[in-house]
Amino acid sequence: MAVRRLNHAVLYIREVARSVAFYTEVLGFTVDVEIPGRAAFLSAPGSDNDHDLGLFAVGPDAPGPENGRIGLYHLAWEVGTLGDLAAIAARLRERGALVGATDHLVSKSLYARDPDGNEFEVMWRVPRADWPGADEADRLRPLDLAAALERWGPDLLTGAAAGSAT
């Protein structure tokens, strides 16, 4: 049996309402089911999944993630267009949640932390025809979102979004 894709992620968080507000307002998720104070299940726009993100509250005094410890480093959410990525970048900046931005040559990526310190990536996949050759060793460069928007425009659908846009 071969794995096809990540279906959903589940995170431990401190407060359901605070995390639901963050993921709905910043990433545009919608709430499918919420058990007040205990859990919530959210979906990304256009998703065919039952849910894409589960949130389980463990209490306001629970310790947060620690750098350099065993455990999940981050999740990556893919957006369809660079315009989507730019809009999310603005919302992340407004909340003080943006912690980095990288050009991986095959993707343009933002890195952020949710209110509990869980790190995640929001990325746009570069069209496959524009990927660098295997000899390109340095794939960690500063992200120049303005240059990427100038090259591909804000509305070019790539990745899974392009496949479902037909």
The CATH number linked to 42 is 3.10.180.10
Q: Does residue 83 share a domain with residue 20? A: no
Q: Is the domain of 105 the same as that of 49?
A: no
155: domain CATH number? 3.30.720.110
Query: DSSP state, 130?
Result: G
At 42-59, the pLDDT tens digits run 999 999 999 999 999 999
Question: pTM value?
Answer: 0.90
Give the number of domains in the chain.
2
User: What's the CA gap between 53 and 36, in Å, rounded?
Assistant: 16
Tens of pLDDT, residue by residue over 99-126, are 999 999 999 999 999 999 999 999 999 9
The answer on 82 and 164 residing in a single domain is yes
Which structural domain range is residue 8 located in? Answer: 1-58
Burial level of 162, CB count in 10 A (0-12/13-18/19+)? middle
| Whether residues 128 and 166 fall in one domain | yes
Q: What is the DSSP letter of 67?
A: T
**Where do we find the tokens 């909340």?**
95
Nearest to 165 by CA among 79, 74, 62, 43: 79
